[in-house]
Amino acid sequence: MIGTQTSDAYASDLQGWQLEKQLKGDQGLEIILAGRWCLDQALPSWEVLKTELGRNDLRHLYFRADHLAAWDTGLLAFLSGVLKFSAGHDIAVDCNGLPAGVQHLLNMASAGPEQNIDARRQSKAGMFSRIGVATIDFCRGFPEMLHFLGEVTLSMGRLLTGRAQFRRSDFWLEVEEVGPRALVIVTVISFLVGLILAYLGADQLRLVGAQIFIADLVAIGMVREVGALMTGIIIAGRTGAAFAAQLGTMQVNEEIDAFRTLGISAIDFLVLPRILALVLMVPLLTLYAAFVGMTAGLLVSYFIFDIGFFEYYTETLRALEIKHFMVGLSKGGVYGAMVAYAGCLRGMHCGRSAEAVGEAATSAVVTGILLITIMASLMTIIFYRLGI
Amino acid sequence: MPGTPHIEVSNLTMAYGDFVVQHDLNFVVQKGDIFIIMGGNGCGKTTLMRALVGLQKPAAGTVYYEGEDFWNVSANDQERLKRRFGVMFQGGALWSSLSLAENVALPLHEYTCLAQARIDEIVSFKLALVGLAGFEDFYPAELSGGMRKRAGLARAMALDPDILVVDEPSSGLDPLNARHLDDLIVELRDGLGTTIVVVTHELASILSIGSNSIYLDAETHTMIATGNPQQAAQTGDAKVRHFLSRGEL
Q: CB-side exposure of A104: number of CA atoms within 13 Å? A: 15
CB contact under 8 A, B134 and A119: yes
pLDDT of residue A209 exceeding 90, the answer is no
- Among A344, A380, A47, A31, which residue's Cα sits nearest to residue A221? A380
Rounded-to-integer distance, Cα B52 and Cα B213, Å: 15
Buried b (16+ CB within 10 A) or exposed e, A204-231: ebeeeeebbebbbbbbbbbbbbbbbbbb
Q: Which residues of A touch B (CB under 8 A)?
A: 38-43, 45-46, 72-74, 76-78, 80-81, 99-102, 104-105, 108-110, 112-113, 115, 117, 119, 121-122, 351-356
pLDDT for A113 equals: 54
| Whole-angstrom distance, CA of residue B67 vs CA of residue B80 | 14
pLDDT at residue A8, as a whole number: 45
CB A266 within 8 A of CB A200: no
The conformational region for residue A200 under phi > 0 = left, psi -120 to 50 = alpha, else beta, is alpha
| Confidence band, pLDDT 50/70/90 cuts, at residue A122 | low
Q: What percent of chain A has pLDDT over 70?
A: 93
Domains of chain A by residue range? 7-108, 145-386
**For the residues of B82-108, what is the DSSP string, one character each?**
HTTEEEE-TT----TTS-HHHHHHHHH
Looking at residue A274, its pLDDT comes to 94
ipTM of the complex model: 0.81
Q: Which one-letter DSSP state was computed for residue A222?
A: I
Query: Which residue, B239, B247, B185, is CA-closest to B211?
Result: B185
Of A38, A102, A355, the CB nearest to B97: A355
Cα B97 to chain centroid distance, Å, stands at: 24
pLDDT for residue A1: 32
The predicted model scores a pTM of: 0.74
Which secondary structure element, helix H or strand E, spans residue A244, and what is its range?
helix A241-252
Which residues in chain B have their CB less than 8 angstroms from residue A117's CB? 134-135
Residue B217 burial (CB count, 10 A): 19
pLDDT in tens, A225-280: 999 999 999 999 999 999 999 999 999 888 888 888 887 888 999 999 999 999 99
Strand B85-88 and strand A92-94: the pairing is unpaired
pLDDT digits (tens, 9 = 90+) for A342-361: 999 999 999 888 889 999 99
Closest by Cβ to B192, choosing from A42, A101, A121: A101
What's the angle, vertex CA A363, arms to CA A245 and CA B136, rounded to 5? 80
Helix, strand, coil shares, percent, chain B, to 5: 40, 25, 35
List the single range of A113-127, B4-18, B41-55 with lowest mean pLDDT. Answer: A113-127
Domain A7-108 has CATH 3.30.750.24: yes
pLDDT digits (tens, 9 = 90+) for B146-181: 888 889 999 999 988 989 999 988 887 888 888 888
Which residue of chain A has the CA closest to B136? A121
Average pLDDT, chain B: 88
pLDDT at B204 over 60: yes
Cβ proximity of A134 and B154 under 8 Å: no
DSSP state of B130: T
CATH class of B5-244: alpha beta
Chain A environment of B114 (Cβ under 8 Å): 39, 42-43, 74
Pick from A111, A116, A56, A46: nearest CA to A85? A46
Sheet containing strand B195-199, edge to edge, reads B85-88, B163-167, B195-199, B34-39, B212-217, B222-226
